[in-house]
């Protein structure tokens, strides 16, 4: 259950406990919490701070330049580290961070690797269930792997052929499309979830993790069918916060392992993985003339600039430009 926030009592540092509590009060997502804690720890270790009083925003510039010069990080990585340490100094410690000057990473943005449609289908057909359906949703709906695995039964709308993504990246909800060809497979998966859930209830279990203390506010809902994961794990596990036996979803690592094997079997030599399905979804839509804003909404990008990177992938195919050798 690595995507469930750990109890504060499990943290063995008073300062990290304070930091984690502050992050949660601000309502930031758990993925942001883990990222911020990681970079703040690296910042503290880099500067050699021994106590809370030693921490200073004056060292931020030195740390960011170290990441670029010594570690050769990308602009996005440097920006993530900046956000984390500024959050620490400005928000938690109330220090001034207005006059930061540092060497910015100049690595250019990478063009995402994408599958051709044939490659995507070939890889999918090499997979067994439930990894096959997970991959189909990543390619057919543009979902990230963890967005797919965190889907609940109630997030699927078979009538409107739509999927609701809850608490996606940036802690935002969004709607995306459910491919018509997957309706039958989704119905079968939902039937499997119902059978498994009824079996758990008969054995005195059946609760599932609910975020933001919703289990306390709606105690009966945690045992409801609608909250059950679309891709449930094969075994019950202990929730680290409540200590109760619950059925979580299958792990991303399991799916990633199966997808990598399928890519190898398909003899695809691209640097590809689960996220390549999402890149391929966006590229296919763009190639078919879908408006960039619509793609942005479906992908859940907060900034249109993030979506525009796919124009570099699809553009050469749409332009009609021919090589001189082909004339």
pLDDT at residue 99 in the model:
83
Q: Tell which residue, 133, 134, 140, 132, has the closest CA to residue 115.
A: 140
Could you tell me the pLDDT band of residue 1, with boundaries at 50, 70 and 90? low
Is 103 one of the annotated active-site residues of the chain?
no
List pLDDT tens digits, range 60-108. 999 999 999 999 888 889 999 999 999 999 999 999 988 888 777 776 6
Is 184 one of the annotated active-site residues of the chain?
no
Please state which of the ranges 23-27, 45-49, 195-199, 273-277 shows the lowest mean pLDDT: 23-27
Could you tell me the pLDDT band of residue 213, with boundaries at 50, 70 and 90? low
Partnered with residue 245 across adjacent β-strands are: 238
Domains of the chain from N-terminus onward? 8-92 (1.10.150.130), 109-319 (1.10.443.10)
The single residue of 43, 66, 139, 144 carrying the catalytic annotation is 144
Rounded Cα distance between 303 and 309, Å, is: 11
Most confident segment among 3-12, 34-43, 236-245: 34-43
Is 275 one of the annotated active-site residues of the chain?
yes
Q: How many CB atoms lie within 10 A of CB 256?
A: 15
Give residues with Cβ within 8 angstroms of 142, minimum separation 6.
176, 278, 281, 282, 285, 298, 299
Most confident segment among 4-18, 72-86, 187-201: 187-201
Would the pLDDT of 49 be above 90? yes
Structure tokens of 69? 């010069």
Give residues with Cβ within 8 angstroms of 248, minimum separation 6.
1, 4, 208, 209, 229, 232, 233, 237
The single residue of 197, 249, 278, 279 carrying the catalytic annotation is 278
pLDDT at residue 107 in the model:
65
* 7, 241 contact by CB (below 8 A): yes
Instruction: Report the first-to-last Cα separation within the chain, whole angstroms.
Output: 57
Rounded Cα distance between 286 and 216, Å, is: 44
Instruction: Report yes or no on whether pTM surpasses 0.85.
Output: no
The single residue of 247, 248, 258, 301 carrying the catalytic annotation is 301
Could you tell me the pLDDT band of residue 8, with boundaries at 50, 70 and 90? confident
Strands 162-165 and 156-157: antiparallel
Is 24 one of the annotated active-site residues of the chain?
no
């Amino acid at each position: 259950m690595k995507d469930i926030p750990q109890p504060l009592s499990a943290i063995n540092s008073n300062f990290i406990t304070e930091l984690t509590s502050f992050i949660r009060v601000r309502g930031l997502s758990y993925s942001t919490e883990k990222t911020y804690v990681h970079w703040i720890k690296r910042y503290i270790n880099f500067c050699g701070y021994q106590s809370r009083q030693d921490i200073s925003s004056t060292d931020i510039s030195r740390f960011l330049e170290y990441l670029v010069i010594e570690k050769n990080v990308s602009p996005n990585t440097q920006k993530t580290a900046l956000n984390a340490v500024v959050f620490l100094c400005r928000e938690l410690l109330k220090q001034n961070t207005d006059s930061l000057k540092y060497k910015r990473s100049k690595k250019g943005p990478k063009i995402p690797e994408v599958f051709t449609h044939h490659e995507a289908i070939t890889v999918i057909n090499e997979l067994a269930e439930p990894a096959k359906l997970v991959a189909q949703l990543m390619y057919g709906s543009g979902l990230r792997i963890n967005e797919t695995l965190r889907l609940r039964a109630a997030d699927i709308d078979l009538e409107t052929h739509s999927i609701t993504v809850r608490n996606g990246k940036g802690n935002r909800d969004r709607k995306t499309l459910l491919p018509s060809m997957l309706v039958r497979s989704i119905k079968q998966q939902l039937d499997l979830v119902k059978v498994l859930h009824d079996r758990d209830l008969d054995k005195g279990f059946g609760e599932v993790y609910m975020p933001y203390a919703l289990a306390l506010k709606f105690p009966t809902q945690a045992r409801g069918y609608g909250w059950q994961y679309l891709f449930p794990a094969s075994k019950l596990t202990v929730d680290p916060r409540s200590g109760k036996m619950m059925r979580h979803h299958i792990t991303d690592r399991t799916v990633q392992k199966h997808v990598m094997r399928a890519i190898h079997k398909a003899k695809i030599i691209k640097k590809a993985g689960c996220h390549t399905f999402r890149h391929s979804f966006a590229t296919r839509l763009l190639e078919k003339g879908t408006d960039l804003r619509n793609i942005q909404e479906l992908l859940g990008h907060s900034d249109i600039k993030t979506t525009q990177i796919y124009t570099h992938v699809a553009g050469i195919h749409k332009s009609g430009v021919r090589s001189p050798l082909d004339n």
